[in-house]
């Protein structure tokens, strides 16, 4: 029980907000203590993706929804194939909108769902569970590891069943929740922070960002088109009008435009350099400069 939130139901709205905010402030510190393990997991994931493997998240309830959020946001953020980062949630996609809690206790369902993904030694499977003992998630990780996949546990308790199955155990000890047992709160926040680091860290290591710019954005609507222009302005120092023209010349592909500007090459050459560099903008620029 959390003594800081005792008698929560008798507090004013501002008092409740202050209590939750003070407890939330503890989450970042808890995550920071796990940074060495997070870094190890990033390296595992980057290595797997560079060799044609996948990152597969597994979770139930809140953990599964957070996993789904991270997975589905990778393609629009980094312009990667949607198969590269996947998720499994107990109860399937219907569990994203409604609780399907009974499935959490089924080891058989956990094995069945991960088996559909056919995990191999090229993949990394990340199990997320605040308690670290959810049968569905533990069984899925056991199955994946048995088939050669690297495994990572994201938990909030030490010496958990899920942690014992994993090659890398990431523990964020956030302490008791404001509402006892409501792991959608501090535990969920910690999980979101950690998954942000795992996917962003791996994609950065693989060159899917340039500096800290989201260069692989696809300008499919007005907002994203404007973002693409701003990225070119920031990365090249070009004026807005010139950046717009450059993006148009690059057929609205920001990475191509960036290589064209930085290396002084044509669209065709920039496109070829990016293909050879497997989409890594910095590498494509360096190789293009060396050639020309």
Put the strands of the sheet holding 168-171 in their side by side order: 85-89, 55-59, 124-128, 150-155, 168-171
From the CB of residue 27, how many other CB atoms can be counted at a distance below 10 Å?
21
pLDDT, tens digit, 9 for 90 and up, residues 192-250: 999 999 999 999 999 889 999 888 887 778 888 888 999 999 999 999 999 999 999 99
DSSP string computed for 238-270? --HHHHHHHHHHTTT-HHHHHHHHHHT--HHHH
Q: Which fold has domain 222-291?
A: Helicase, Ruva Protein; domain 3 (1.10.8)
Q: Are strands 168-171 and 150-155 parallel, antiparallel or unpaired?
A: parallel
pLDDT, tens digit, 9 for 90 and up, residues 1-58: 888 888 998 999 999 999 999 999 999 999 999 999 999 999 999 999 999 999 999 9
pLDDT value at residue 187: 96
With a CB cutoff of 8 Å and minimum separation 6, the contacts of 123 are 48, 53, 54, 55, 56, 117, 144, 149, 150
pLDDT, tens digit, 9 for 90 and up, residues 144-172: 999 999 999 999 999 999 999 999 999 99
Catalytic-role residue among 23, 104, 142, 177: 104
Q: What is the mean pLDDT of residues 255-274?
A: 94
Instruction: Report domain extents, the chain.
Output: 3-205, 222-291
Please tell me the class of the 3-205 domain: alpha beta
pLDDT value at residue 25: 96
Q: What is the mean pLDDT of residues 65-79?
A: 94
Name the band, by pLDDT with cuts 50, 70 and 90, for residue 105: confident
Q: How far is CA 245 from CA 213, 216, 254, in A?
A: 20, 18, 12
pLDDT value at residue 214: 87
Whether residue 102 is predicted with pLDDT greater than 80 in this model: the reply is no
User: Catalytic site residue 73?
Assistant: yes
> Cα 186 to the chain's mean position, in Å?
18
Q: What is the mean pLDDT of residues 169-177?
A: 95
């Amino acid at each position: 029980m959390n003594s800081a939130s005792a008698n929560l139901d008798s507090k004013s709205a501002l008092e409740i907000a202050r209590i939750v905010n003070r407890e939330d402030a503890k989450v970042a510190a808890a995550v920071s203590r796990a940074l060495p393990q997070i870094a190890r997991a990033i390296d595992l994931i980057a290595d797997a993706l560079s060799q044609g493997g996948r990152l597969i998240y597994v979770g139930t309830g809140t953990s599964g929804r957070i996993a789904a959020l991270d997975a589905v946001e990778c393609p629009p953020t980094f312009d990667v194939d949607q198969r590269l980062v996947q998720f499994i949630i107990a109860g399937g996609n219907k569990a994203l909108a409604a609780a399907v809690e009974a499935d959490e206790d089924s080891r058989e369902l956990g094995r069945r769902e991960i088996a559909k993904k056919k995990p191999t030694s090229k993949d990394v499977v990340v199990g997320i569970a605040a308690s670290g003992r959810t049968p569905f998630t533990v069984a899925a990780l056991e199955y994946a590891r048995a088939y050669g996949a690297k495994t990572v546990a994201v938990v909030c308790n030490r010496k958990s069943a899920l942690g014992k199955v994993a090659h890398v155990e990431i523990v964020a000890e956030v302490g008791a929740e404001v509402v006892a047992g409501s792991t959608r709160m501090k535990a969920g926040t910690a999980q979101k922070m950690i998954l942000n680091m795992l996917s962003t860290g791996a994609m950065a290591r693989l060159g899917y960002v340039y500096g800290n710019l989201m260069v692989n954005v696809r300008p499919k609507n007005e907002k994203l088109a404007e973002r693409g222009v701003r990225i070119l302005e920031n990365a090249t120092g070009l004026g807005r009008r010139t950046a717009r023209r450059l993006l148009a010349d690059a057929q609205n592909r920001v990475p191509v435009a960036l290589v064209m500007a930085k290396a002084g090459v044509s669209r065709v050459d920039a496109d070829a350099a990016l293909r050879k560099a497997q989409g890594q903008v910095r590498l494509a620029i360096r190789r293009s400069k060396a050639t020309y």
